[in-house]
Amino acid sequence: MDHQPPPFFKLGPSPRTRFIFFAIISVVLMVLDARQNAMTGLRQVLAVTISPLQRLANSPAELLDQTGSFFVTQARMQGENAQLRQRQLLQAAQLQRMQAMQAENAYLRKMLDVQPPRRETVVAAEIIYAGRDPFSQKIIVDKGSIQNVKPGQPAIDDIGVIGQVTRVYPFSSEITLLTDKDQAIPIEIVRNGTRAIAFGHGQDGTLELPFMAANADVQNGDILVTSGIDGVYPAGLPVAAVSKIERNASFAKISCTPSAGVNRHKQLLILGGAGREIQALLPEPAVGADQAGVKPAGKRRRN
């Protein structure tokens, strides 16, 4: 007696054969994507396709945040208004000093026949959500290639550097934070002008200065700013403050706490190119008169 199933119920290849087939395809696609970026176009299409789904998935949390902010107490609003008025007064004083310095700078440039720095573009973005990978420090913002955002551009907030754009989609972008273990940024110690490279430490949200000599002139509380030698980050942006120093016979293990952070607010700025004009919006670190006078002199050029 024939016990063969009818042709309509045939199952095709065995599960093991299908598993091996799709595993080989997956490995080939991963190798092509890693070596030749072959999946970039597909990734762009998928990003555009799932962008509405991402918005929809985040809508309950946004609705909850909006509902919570609606019931803010009057006392808290009064306190915030008082703080904003005080900050406005401080910024007004800084603005007046900056206008006087700009006028003096323009006069000196005219005397020395120095070409003024070119202006750069700034894109305001809002954080959509944080990356899902627990081993990386990434965020997704709502601006992409349509708004002329490009990979490599730095991202800052009102305090200092947050990170760098590492991947761009048409309607969104991925920003890798400075605290990510794969990120590095050239820095300069404000107090003495020492230059080094700060690396992200990973999940603990700190930075470290490796390969520093045990007798290096570094102290707790030292302010680190961007040195500008990489051509990506403009010079003088606050990066971090030294929080812990461990010295041994050969090297010093130096940990730093970032100045800026994405936990304070949802808005940030993406600098197009060097973004020099944005430095006026950031608080200036305390420097001596000798340091403030020496740094611009090294950048002078004659036409």
> Domain extents for the chain?
16-71, 81-116, 121-276
Residues 6+ away with beta carbon under 8 Å from 141: 125, 126, 127, 128, 155, 172, 173, 175, 268, 270
In whole angstroms, give the CA distance from residue 168 to residue 141.
10
Least confident of 11-25, 44-58, 69-83: 69-83
> Model confidence over 140-197: pLDDT tens digits?
999 999 999 999 999 988 888 999 999 999 989 999 999 898 899 999 999 888 899 9
Q: What tokens were used for 27?
A: 């490995």
Predicted confidence at residue 119, as pLDDT, reads: 58
In whole angstroms, give the CA distance from residue 67 to residue 58.
14
> Does position 302 have pLDDT exceeding 70, yes or no?
no
Q: What is the longest distance spanned by two Cα atoms in the chain?
A: 107
| pTM for this model (two decimals) | 0.58
- Residue 11's pLDDT band (boundaries 50, 70, 90)? low
Q: How many CB atoms lie within 10 A of CB 243?
A: 15
Percent of the chain scored above 70 by pLDDT?
81
- Residue 87's pLDDT band (boundaries 50, 70, 90)? confident
- How much is the mean pLDDT over the chain? 78
Residue scoring higher pLDDT (278 or 150): 150
> Model confidence over 216-272: pLDDT tens digits?
889 999 999 999 888 888 888 899 999 989 888 788 889 999 988 777 778 888 988
Predicted confidence at residue 299, as pLDDT, reads: 40
Name the residue among 130, 144, 290, 288 with its Cα closest to residue 223.
288
245: which strand partners? 254
Mean per-residue pLDDT, 286-302: 39
Predicted confidence at residue 286, as pLDDT, reads: 46
DSSP structural state of residue 197? E
Name the residue among 235, 257, 244 with its Cα closest to residue 212.
244
In whole angstroms, give the CA distance from residue 33 to residue 26.
11
The C-alpha R_g of the chain, in whole angstroms, comes to 26
- Domain with residues 121-276, CATH architecture: Beta Barrel (2.40)
> Model confidence over 25-34: pLDDT tens digits?
888 888 887 7
> Does position 284 have pLDDT exceeding 60, yes or no?
no
Predicted confidence at residue 224, as pLDDT, reads: 93
Number of DSSP helices (H) and strands (E) in the chain, helices first:
4, 12
Residue scoring higher pLDDT (163 or 135): 163
